Amino acid sequence: MVSVWEPELLDRLVALHERWGDQDARGYHVTATSDDLDYRRAVSEELMRSFAPAISELLVDYEPYTAVLVLKEADGDSTVYAHQDGTCNDEDERPGVVAWFPATPLDEQAGYLRGLWGSHRYMPGIRSTPPTVAPFEAVRDELLVEEMPPIELSLGQALLFDSRLVHGSEPNRSGRRRLAGYLRFHPIGATARHYWWDTEANLVRGYSVDRDFFLTHVWNRAPDQASFTAFTPERPEQLTIAELRRLRRRSQLRPLRWDRPVDQRIP
Ligand SMILES: O=C(O)CCC(=O)C(=O)O
């Protein structure tokens, strides 16, 4: 959790949404899926210009490559179930980093972001769009409320997390729109990836994409280019809450390879 900018800066995002956004939308939605490509681009440019530099300064050798607004409207279901964000770069050496921050005040009613601590260490694997079945699907409601502590961010603060972290939030019950910024970073020079689950063939297809892809792609559709890989997704065994707790404890004792100091790495 970092304090990175003056809260007044956030007014730019609210104004941007008021000018361009769909005022009749309901529930949870993100600008990444908007049909209005000019709006998508305007949001991305504002986030990259006004917000990404302060985060980049805190990261060593990472660059931003995509930026969206996350909206939870006053009406409609806006629960964000426990999930992991899609894989956007090869994570074997270094993971992607997400910066998430509120642009309108957060409290219990508006719904704090919640995280399953340490889950980036014990929930490896490629995450596709749409997502294939996750090993915590059977317990996702209980997981969100009982196992994932709320992260109480104020305006001006951001949460930086490993892009494999399981996270989510309860619905917005505040009666007001809840607006948040979301930026993704990857190691400088990394190739951006997109993994699409072709449900008809039951294959996850991997694509190397450029930055514009995230501004123009129609989500859940086949990307309009050749894939570099394809694999059949596994149907994972569903974990219980007790098993997830055990995994967390074990991961604290024995971090994954890339977490270890270089001289302690297993060859
Ligand atoms: O805004 C939130 O509470 C969560 C958003 C989120 O996790 C996402 O869009 O992936």
Query: CB of 80 closer than 6 A to ligand 1?
Result: yes
Of 28, 72, 100, 177, the residue with max ligand 1 atoms within 8 A of its CB, to mutate for a pocket test, comes to 100
Which ligand 1 atom is the nearest neighbour of the CA of 111? 3
CATH number at residue 49: 2.60.120
**What's 94's DSSP letter?**
S
pTM: 0.92
Whether residue 96 contacts residue 163, with contact meaning beta carbons closer than 8 Å, is answered with yes
- Is the beta carbon of 167 within 6 A of some atom in ligand 1? yes
Ligand 1 neighbour 165 (Cβ under 6 A): no
Does 29 contact ligand 1 (Cβ within 6 A)? Answer: no
CA distances from 82 to 85, 132, 145 (A): 10, 13, 9
**C-alpha 266 to ligand 1 mean position (Å):** 35
Each residue's pLDDT tens digit, 112-165: 999 998 999 898 889 999 999 999 999 999 999 999 999 999 999 999 999 999
Write the pLDDT tens digit of every residue in 164-186.
999 999 999 999 999 999 999 99
Mean pLDDT in residue range 204-221: 92
Domain for residue 168, yes or no?
yes
The whole-number average pLDDT for the span 15-34 is 92
Tell me whether residue 239 is in a domain.
Answer: yes
Residue 101: pLDDT band (50, 70, 90) is very high
Task: Identify whether 264 is part of a domain.
Answer: no
Asked whether residue 81 is domain-assigned, the answer is: yes
Percentage of residues of the chain with pLDDT beyond 90: 82
Report the C-alpha gap between 238 and 143 in whole angstroms: 13
73 lines ligand 1 (CB under 6 A): no
Peptide bond into 130 cis (omega under 30): yes
68 CA distance to ligand 1 middle (Å)? 11
d(CA 136, CA 133): 8
Residue 266 lies in a domain: no
Q: How far is the CA of 28 from the centre of ligand 1 (A)?
A: 9
Q: In the prediction, which pLDDT does 59 show?
A: 95
- In short, whether 217's Cβ falls inside 6 Å of ligand 1 is no
Domain membership of residue 8 (yes or no) is yes
Is there an atom of ligand 1 within 6 Å of 116 CB?
Answer: no
Range of the domain at 137: 2-256
Q: Which residue has the tokens 């008809």?
A: 200
* Alpha carbon distances (Å) from 257 to 84, 93, 231: 20, 9, 24
Question: Are residues 70 and 167 in contact, defined by beta-carbon separation less than 8 angstroms?
Answer: no
Nearest CA to ligand 1 atom 4: 168
Concatenating the DSSP letter of every residue in 96-121 gives: -EEEEEESS---TTT--EEE-TTHHH
- Report if residue 216 sits inside a domain: yes
169 lines ligand 1 (CB under 6 A): yes
> Closest ligand 1 atom, CA of 30?
9
Of 178, 164, 24, 197, nearest to 109 by C-alpha is: 178
How many angstroms separate the Cα of 87 from the Cα of each of 104, 155, 208?
28, 28, 12
The count of structural domains within the chain is: 1
User: How does pLDDT run across 26-38, given as a tens digit for each residue?
Assistant: 999 999 989 899 9
Residue 44 lies in a domain: yes
